[in-house]
Amino acid sequence: MRVTILGAAGMIGRKLAERIAITGQINGQNVDALTLVDVVTPDVATDFKGTRDAYAADLAEAGVAAQVVADQPDVIVHLAAVVSGEAEADMEKGYRVNLDGTRALLEAIAAHDGYCPRVIYASSLAVFGAPFPAKIPDDFHLTPLTSYGTQKAMGEMLLNDYSRRGILDGVGIRFPTICIRPGKPNKAASSFFSGILREPLNGQEAILPVADDVRHWFASPRAAVGYIEHAATMDTAPLGAQRCMTMPGVTATVGEQIEALRDVAGDEAVALIRRAPDPAVASIVAGWPRDFDTARALKMGFRAEKSFQEIIAIYLEDEMGRTALTGAAT
């Protein structure tokens, strides 16, 4: 199997590449060639025993999509995107990367007669906007209220249509907000959800721009990689024409996140959270969904954590080398 990861320098892309490099497989199927692409050259997965390649390219630039599919990879993981906050601040850039780049990729695939790869498209909860029910069902219509959400909704429609026509075999993954993200904050409006846990766990101050009662939908980076691995090899026939699904996750308020942090690291860690209301961020987050019924994805075999304590435990294990929850006040 030949696998190409677009957006491979990002957190999820890096973790997926590392996983493939270590195991030589994706969900139990052998990977013979691994290509990593991003706007900066991704780190080559040096542990990988098969054919490796990594290069910098902008998918929205002329000719790049054709280059990406020239060797006809069996699986294309499309993670490349301008994230939510940046897409809202720079509308032109968001549409160029998130919509035009996606369309260019699908058209490049269509140019190869008889070529039908599995395309895994990274979508977002931002395709839903208020008003919506407290728990959004699988059949709820797309109602984006941001440019990013609109761009991702358009990408979902394209994935459905190109799959329906037999040009590709698409699986659209609506990721929960991935938490706790390692490293530094990115430009996503949701970045603070990780920051208010990650920074205190590392002894640093964190900024909280929204109220404690803000509720959201979460999963760990480990779950995110698992979604992609499963999507790469699953039977897509039961999906029919509707190829996009909201992934399983955990619903929690900011206050519940903070209490989970207190359980793990005590009052000293919680004291490192500084409240600094940001109306712009609060406005974006206010239009996001909070809870989902993900029966369809669960039936298709996707899995995630069941509690926020489990999400924190995964961060401690994967990023800090701790195998037990320690440090909580007694």
pLDDT tens-digit readout, 120-139: 999 999 999 889 998 999 99
Mean pLDDT, all residues of the chain: 93
Q: In this structure, what token pair is assigned to residue 265?
A: 């690291």
Note the pLDDT tens digit of each residue in 244-255. Answer: 999 999 999 999
Q: Please provide residue 15's backbone torsions phi and psi, each rounded to the nearest 5 degrees.
A: -65, -40
- Rg (C-alpha) for the chain, rounded Å, is 19
pLDDT at 47: 80
Mean pLDDT calculated for residue range 225-237: 98
- The pLDDT of residue 327 is above 50: no
- The pLDDT of residue 330 is above 50: no
Mean pLDDT calculated for residue range 45-62: 90
User: What's the length of the chain?
Assistant: 330
CA dihedral (121, 124, 129, 132) positive or negative = positive
- Residue 125 in contact with residue 288, Cβ under 8 Å? yes
pLDDT at 187: 73
Give domain limits for the chain.
Answer: 2-176+219-246
For residue 323, what pLDDT band results from cuts at 50, 70 and 90?
A: low
| Cα separation, 48 vs 35, whole angstroms | 11
Could you tell me which CATH number the domain at 2-176+219-246 has? 3.40.50.720
Note the pLDDT tens digit of each residue in 88-109. Answer: 889 999 999 999 999 999 999 9
Q: In this structure, what token pair is assigned to residue 32?
A: 């013979």
What is the strand order of the sheet 177-178 is part of?
A: 177-178, 215-219, 250-253
Q: What is the pTM of this model?
A: 0.92
* All residues at 6 or more sequence positions from 15 whose CB lies less than 8 Å from its CB, including other chains: 221, 222, 224, 225
- Residue 172 in contact with residue 78, Cβ under 8 Å? no
* 148 tagged catalytic: yes
| Cα separation, 73 vs 83, whole angstroms | 26
Note the pLDDT tens digit of each residue in 170-214. Answer: 999 999 999 999 988 777 778 999 999 999 999 999 999 999 999
Q: Which of 95, 115, 121, 148 is catalytic?
A: 148
